[in-house]
Amino acid sequence: MKLTAREIAGQLGGDIIGDPDVTVSSPARIEYGKAGNICFLANPKYEKYLYTTNASIVLVNRSFTPKEKVNATMIAVDDAYKAVADLLEWFSSLKRSRRKGNRIARIFSFVHTVRGKVKRGTWIGEYTVIERGARVGRDCQIYPQVYIGRNVKVGDNVTIYPGVKVYHDCVIGDNCTLHSGCVIGADGFGFAPLEDGSYKKIQQTGNVIIEDNVEIGANTCVDRATMGSTIIRRGVKLDDLIMVAHNVEIGSDTVIAGQSGIAGSAHLGEHCVLGGQTGIGGHITIAPHTTFAAKTGLMKDWKTPGQSLMGYPAMTYMHYMRSYSAFKKSGETKPSTRDSDAAHS
């Protein structure tokens, strides 16, 4: 499916700045844009990528004026964030229209249903469904009541426990373990605010990529990307009840304890350690080898590797302990004479 800038501008009511006949076939984030991709710029934080992206088309606000030369064709719209929501919905509808008639029949017998390809040595439990286009590698253990969606790729020696759901187009590497109830590839939490106070859903067209030797705990959810991929790098270990939002990237060999939450487009470096109930804000970058005490909250970039953080807002361990000592002392007051007299009466 290829669309020209002219077709897209007509659909979105935008003005073309550049080549109206340039074509695109898929959306992408502006920092990763390649030829044939359409991206958008709504957050000034990402303006620097406009001048370096290889994307063919970029949606921008009409109020935006570039400071440098832009190689991509731009389509100026009233609200780039809302326009991208409309665009992704349009892409999604065009994609769905090609899959009509490909419904999987409901099976109520005590068997599994395999529509994809499964290699030798893999065991599949009862009531498991593997949809068309999915591929499962060798020597896997797929327990009962697992759902593996269209075009999912599962590597070798993977263990998937009961009740796991892997949505369409996601990728799972070799030697991974997914524990019961975890969900891979649910929609990211993306909604564009409208003038009337309601919200328009932004279609989540990306996927989740889980590299080799990753373990994901029970009832943890890893959301698919709005565009591109949510990426869990090699060797990551996620505990139970963790929320990983869309377009997050977790660096290799990072360990995250239960009930932690990572907001959209956050990037964690390799070998980080997050204690339980840690909260990471969206669109921030965390240096490698950063350690978080339980209940730490970080809302801005942390650029110095190898430090231990705690508290909310997060600060280094020594800074926190000095601040806590001062705070504790500020609350200590001597009893007044009146209080002393009352105590002796």
Whether 108 shows a pLDDT value over 90: the answer reads no
In terms of CATH architecture, what is 164-323? 3 Solenoid (2.160)
Q: Which of 96, 189, 198, 180 is nearest to 142 (CA)?
A: 180
Looking at the domain 3-97, which fold is it? 3.40.1390
The model's pLDDT over 142-190, given as tens digits with 9 standing for 90+, comes to: 999 999 999 999 999 999 999 999 999 999 999 999 999 999 999 999 9
The model's pLDDT over 194-231, given as tens digits with 9 standing for 90+, comes to: 999 999 999 999 999 999 999 999 999 999 999 999 99
Mean of all residue pLDDT scores within the chain:
90
pLDDT of residue 338: 55
Q: Which of 58, 18, 1 is nearest to 35 (CA)?
A: 58
| Higher-confidence position of 312 and 328 | 312
Share of the chain above pLDDT 90, in %: 79
pLDDT of residue 223: 98
Whether 100 shows a pLDDT value over 80: the answer reads no
DSSP 241: S
pLDDT of residue 103: 36
pLDDT of residue 111: 56
Q: Which of 44, 43, 51, 90 is nearest to 74 (CA)?
A: 51
Confidence of residue 55 (pLDDT cuts 50, 70, 90): very high
Whether 336 shows a pLDDT value over 70: the answer reads no
Q: Is residue 218 within 8 Å of 236, Cβ to Cβ? A: no
**CA 274 – CA 297 distance, rounded (Å):** 10
Maximum Cα–Cα distance across the chain:
92
Sheet holding 267-268, edge to edge: 117-118, 135-136, 153-154, 171-172, 207-210, 229-232, 249-250, 267-268, 285-286
> Do the strands 291-292 and 308-310 form a parallel or antiparallel pair, or are they unpaired?
parallel
Whether 101 shows a pLDDT value over 70: the answer reads no
Question: HSE (CB half, 13 Å, CA atoms) of 85?
Answer: 16
Residue 246 annotated among the catalytic residues of the structure: yes
Q: Where are the domains of the chain?
A: 3-97, 164-323
| Higher-confidence position of 287 and 108 | 287
pLDDT of residue 91: 79
pLDDT of residue 109: 38
Q: What is the mean pLDDT of the segment spanning 335-343?
A: 53
Residues 6+ apart with CB under 8 A from 52: none
pLDDT of residue 337: 54
pLDDT of residue 345: 46
What pTM does this model have? 0.83
Which of the following is catalytic: 112, 179, 246, 289?
Answer: 246
